[in-house]
């Protein structure tokens, strides 16, 4: 969003109880009355309700919940994440556009977000149901200066961020199912898809996909996933505004990502274990055609899942099917 548009919204926000004249806006923003009027029309397209009264000026009477570059960036307290936002009312997949933009040199922190995806995807090629205005469907471009082997830690970090943001905004208690799913009351609410372009010792870019079911009712979910998926609305009994939740994710992400790059994975590991789904409980591990019971202990320092077998020995799981 232009600096002028941002300043205009801030001026209107700070004067909600009274009108601010067109002349004042011209002087404060150093633009013409015609430019002020054009900015107002653009804000109205985004869903802001603005009253204009001759000889008194302008006043915002309602802020929108619709997603747009303007609504997401207004009041956003981040330095680099979300400073470039590409929004689509409908798109096949935010991941696809993320890869295209990353290859074209898009800056780190660029966000691709959509009201609806027609070909949303999860891990291992699974389809992700992404209905219009019912959830958060977005991808973030990252360019971390770490070796490719550490990329899975970014997935685990993102899971912590989503859990904390959901808990902060909605007061619902989520859990993280290793490695990348957010559960509420034993059903999936959000997922993370991490895709990267890398050489042997260098990551060129990561496209981090995030899907969160926010306002779906049970009947709005596909019948084949109604027993295993849920939404924040279903679990809280309330409809939620998307913009505050997205902004909280951005704030949490910027802080944790910078800490991760500076200090490593240790602090994130501890937070992840606090949210870990079924930590301390027995599950069944299926790997290399063998299935065996094991107790979930936590994470290893590299992000692998640590389990304890029935004979007391421990094992680090990097890739396996866990029968929860």
pLDDT for 220: 81
* Residue 117 annotated as binding site: yes
> Which CATH number applies to 3-62?
1.10.10.10
pLDDT of residue 266: 93
Whole-number pLDDT of residue 125:
58
Q: Would you state the pLDDT for residue 55?
A: 87
Assess if CATH 1.25.40.420 describes domain 69-275: no
Same-fold call for 3-62 versus 282-323: no
Tens digits of pLDDT across the chain (324 residues): 457 877 888 788 777 778 999 999 999 999 999 999 999 998 888 888 899 999 899 998 877 778 988 889 887 889 999 999 999 999 999 999 999 999 999 999 999 999 999 887 665 556 667 777 799 999 999 999 999 999 999 999 999 999 999 999 998 999 999 988 999 999 999 999 999 999 988 999 999 999 999 999 988 888 878 889 999 999 999 999 999 999 999 999 999 999 999 999 999 999 999 999 999 999 999 888 889 999 999 999 999 999 999 999 999 999 888 888
How does DSSP assign 63-128, residue by residue? ---S--HHHHHTT---SSTTSSEEEESSBS-HHHHHHHHHHTTPPTT-EEEES-BSS-B-GGG-B-
Return d(Cα 48, Cα 271) in angstroms, integer: 38
CATH class of 282-323: mainly beta
How much is the pTM?
A: 0.84
- 100 is annotated as contributing to ligand binding: no
Boundaries of every domain in the chain: 3-62, 69-275, 282-323
Q: What is the pLDDT of residue 124?
A: 53
DSSP string, 227-275: TTB--HHHHHSS---HHHHHHHHHHHHHHHHHHHHHH-SHHHHHHHHHH
pLDDT at 239: 93
């Amino acid at each position: 969003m232009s600096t002028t548009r941002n300043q205009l919204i801030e001026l209107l926000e700070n004067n909600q109880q009274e009108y601010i004249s067109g002349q004042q806006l011209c002087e404060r923003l150093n633009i013409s009355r015609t430019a002020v009027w054009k900015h107002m029309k653009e804000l109205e397209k985004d869903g802001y309700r603005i009253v204009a009264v001759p000889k008194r000026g302008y006043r915002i009477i309602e802020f929108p919940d619709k997603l747009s570059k303007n609504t997401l960036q207004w009041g956003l307290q981040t330095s680099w994440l979300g400073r470039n936002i590409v929004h689509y009312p409908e798109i096949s997949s935010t991941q696809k556009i993320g890869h295209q933009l990353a290859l074209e040199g898009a800056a780190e922190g660029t966000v691709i977000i959509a009201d609806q995806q027609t070909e949303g995807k999860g891990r291992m090629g699974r389809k992700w149901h992404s209905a219009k205005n019912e959830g958060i469907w977005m991808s973030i471009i990252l360019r971390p200066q770490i070796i490719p082997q550490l990329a899975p830690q970014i997935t685990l970090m993102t899971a912590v961020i989503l859990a904390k943001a959901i808990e902060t905004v909605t007061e619902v208690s989520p859990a993280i199912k290793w490695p990348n799913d957010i559960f509420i009351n034993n059903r999936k609410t959000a997922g993370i898809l991490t895709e990267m372009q890398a050489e042997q010792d260098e990551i060129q870019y990561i496209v981090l996909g995030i899907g969160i079911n926010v306002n779906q009712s049970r009947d709005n979910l596909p019948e084949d996933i109604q027993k295993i998926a849920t939404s924040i609305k279903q679990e809280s009994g309330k409809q939620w505004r998307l913009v505050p939740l997205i902004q909280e994710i951005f704030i949490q992400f910027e802080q944790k990502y910078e800490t991760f790059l500076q200090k490593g994975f240790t602090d994130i590991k501890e937070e992840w274990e606090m949210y870990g789904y079924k930590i301390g409980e027995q599950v069944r591990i299926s790997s290399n055609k063998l299935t065996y019971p094991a107790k979930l202990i936590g994470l290893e320092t590299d992000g692998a899942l640590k389990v304890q077998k029935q004979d007391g020995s421990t094992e680090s799981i990097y890739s396996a099917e866990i029968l929860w």
